[in-house]
Amino acid sequence: MTDTNVNQDQTTTPRADRQTPLDQGGPAPEHHDFLREMVQQDLAEGRVTEVVTRFPPEPNGYLHIGHAKSIYLNFGIARQFGGRCNLRMDDTNPAKEDVEYVDAIMADVKWLIAGWADHCLALKPVGRTPEERDIEGRRDFYLAPVMPGQGRDGAWEPFYASDYFEPLYEYALELIRKGKAYVCDHTPEEVDRMRGAPHHPGQESAYRNRSVAENLDLFERMRAGEFPDGARTLRAKIDMSSPNVWLRDPVLYRIRHAPHHHTGDRWCIYPMYDFAHGLSDYIEGVTHSLCTLEFEVHRPLYEWILEALDLPRAHPRQREFARLNMTHTVMSKRKLLRLVQEGHVQGWDDPRMPTIAGMRRRGYPAEAIRDFCERIRVGKRENMVQVQLLEHCVREDLNRRAPRAFAVLRPLRVVIENYPEGQVEDIEAVNNPEDAAMGTRLVPFSRVIYIEQDDFREVPPPKYYRLSPGKEVRLRYAYLITCTEVVKDPETGEVTEVRAHYDPATRGGDTPDGRKVKATLHWVSAAHAVDAEVRLYDTLFQVEDPEDVPEGEDFTSSLNPRSLEILRGCKLEPSLAMAAPGDRYQFERLGYFYVDPDDSRPGAPVFNRTVTLKDSWARIQKKQGQG
């Protein structure tokens, strides 16, 4: 699930031993939004002495770009205020969770915060569970974190809500003893029906007034496995006439005889999210629990549970922010799982997916994703963000860092007839015009080269300035050439080769006589070309809102049939033979590309197109401004 108090009595990590943003090359920038104002006020008033946030995804799928916003917010606040952010698996539902997802979440979070907020990442030693202690005669449970540089040389792991099953069970018993919880025998369907509607009071359970002794006995027998799934639940005893339906005796525990990925077969009763949420925050010493807006109506229950138990330490504070909605994609993990299971994509890390793993494999830099999250900021109102803004952030980042290279994706053979046979020249090319420190490279030039098929037209349309019969063009960093002849397949009529002449006086692309040439083409020497597979990715859905479909259809009807095009036999400059998995390049005139970390092999590279060169965000911004 996408959502995130420590006082003097709590066992906390000493601030002097903790890394601060100053250890990461300077102080964290001062951001301002309503959540940070709340944190600042809590510090100023002494309600908290340090800031502890948390990122608690449910391990039932891979993280997506919406989770990236939550990661950026929670770790960003921890970073700004010199605090920590606990990474916790919200694993209270054994039916949908898996170790694969836990591992993927860990990898995604560490990748996204690396070099930025990894000093704020709070974990725990493997197997450690909350410590039980006495504070002024009251029972308390607390689990201290391990921070970077403090015992992190051994085995460590994220926090797990399932590590709190025993304390949560004890807290449930305490609610029963206080007369604030009871065992109910109604079926789930009956409970839903009896809850009522916001403007109509609900119907009390027939079992609401069981004695404390009977409730304790039944709940202990529930834990012992005496009853089948769905036979009984533990419910909070609050107010069946509350206008907030979440306070109408919500279910706290249900019976589920299913193995759990982390606890095995030790439990057959599992806490509901609303019960585990606030108490998990409390056990970890979280000060600020930041959730998406759908949890706003749950906040009164979050606070009721903490207050009903008379806990000895300061309570965490829940506040909500608007979740991220983005065009041309879906954010529901249930729907993303369908895409995987039904074979619409090739896995959770398919580069077309909005998952962090998919974006990483596509070549999106973590810095660009964080820049995107910074630009969209934090608000209280739901809105739709254009995917073009994310692509714009990626382009800006890669424009600064990616070395340039020549690659011809759909090759057309060009023979320069007046160039000496057997001669090879090394042409000097700039690696990145945005960064002179990246220097230059030598690219071989010879009599036979490849250009893009789209860069030649036998019968050019109006205002077509690229190569055509009799037309002169510039070869990037090399020479000016003029098309003199076209060779076609005698059966299909398809152009298979272009013959041309070059001007030896134009080496480097300059014209001594000052004549103007309107088109500059990229090229690759045929004798030195490296063959490669290139995968061209587009948006997974062809409409902005995949949820907006005609009656009787679902979101899959909007899938983009051209979201992936695989090109084989592409011709690349020879320097790319050494490209390693994870390397990024700008293929001049084509876009930014990433060496696939899974499918590339020595001598057989595979490149994923990260994003095209064309940036439509400025046009969208202008249109929105006019609107």
Q: How far is CA 188 from the centre of its chain?
A: 34
The enclosing H or E element of 497 equals strand 495-503
Contacts of 276 (CB under 8 A, 6+ apart): 90, 92, 161, 164, 168
In degrees, rounded to 5, the angle at the alpha carbon of residue 191 between the alpha carbons of residues 190 and 193 is: 65
Do 322 and 292 touch, CB atoms closer than 8 A?
yes
Report the half-sphere exposure of 349 (CA within 13 A, side-chain side). Answer: 17
* Cα first-last separation, the chain: 35
Query: What is the rounded distance in angstroms from the CA atom of residue 84 to the CA atom of residue 148?
Result: 11
Sign of CA pseudo-dihedral 320, 321, 322, 323 = negative
> 317-321 and 288-292 as β-strands: parallel, antiparallel, unpaired?
parallel
Report the half-sphere exposure of 329 (CA within 13 A, side-chain side). Answer: 25
Q: Give strand pairing partners of 611.
A: 592
Contacts of 579 (CB under 8 A, 6+ apart): 585, 595, 600, 605, 607
Per-residue b or e along 12-40, where b marks 16 or more CB atoms closer than 10 Å to that residue's CB = bbeeeebbbbeebeeebeeeeeebbeebe
Where are the alpha helices (H) located in 407-566, listed in sequence order? none
What 3-state class would DSSP assign to 273? Answer: helix
> 530-537 and 606-612 as β-strands: parallel, antiparallel, unpaired?
parallel
CB atoms within 10 A of CB 503: 16
Q: What is the dihedral of CA 546, 550, 556, 561, to 10 degrees?
A: -80
Instruction: Please return the burial class of 360, using the count of CB atoms within 10 Å of its CB with bins 0-12, 13-18 and 19+.
Output: buried
> 138-142 and 131-135 as β-strands: parallel, antiparallel, unpaired?
antiparallel
Name the DSSP letter for residue 184: E
> 448-452 and 411-416 as β-strands: parallel, antiparallel, unpaired?
antiparallel
> 251-255 and 233-236 as β-strands: parallel, antiparallel, unpaired?
antiparallel
Gyration radius of the chain over CA positions: 31
Contacts of 625 (CB under 8 A, 6+ apart): none
The residue assigned the tokens 């965000």 is: 617
Query: Residues 26-35: contacts with CB within 8 Å, 24+ apart?
Result: 28/76, 28/79, 28/80, 29/80, 30/80, 31/76, 31/80, 33/377, 33/378, 33/379, 34/378, 34/380, 35/73, 35/77, 35/288, 35/290, 35/319, 35/321, 35/378
Contacts of 516 (CB under 8 A, 6+ apart): none
Q: How far is CA 20 from the centre of its chain?
A: 25
Sign of CA pseudo-dihedral 291, 296, 297, 301 = positive
Contacts of 392 (CB under 8 A, 6+ apart): 615, 617, 618
Active site residues: 58, 323, 333
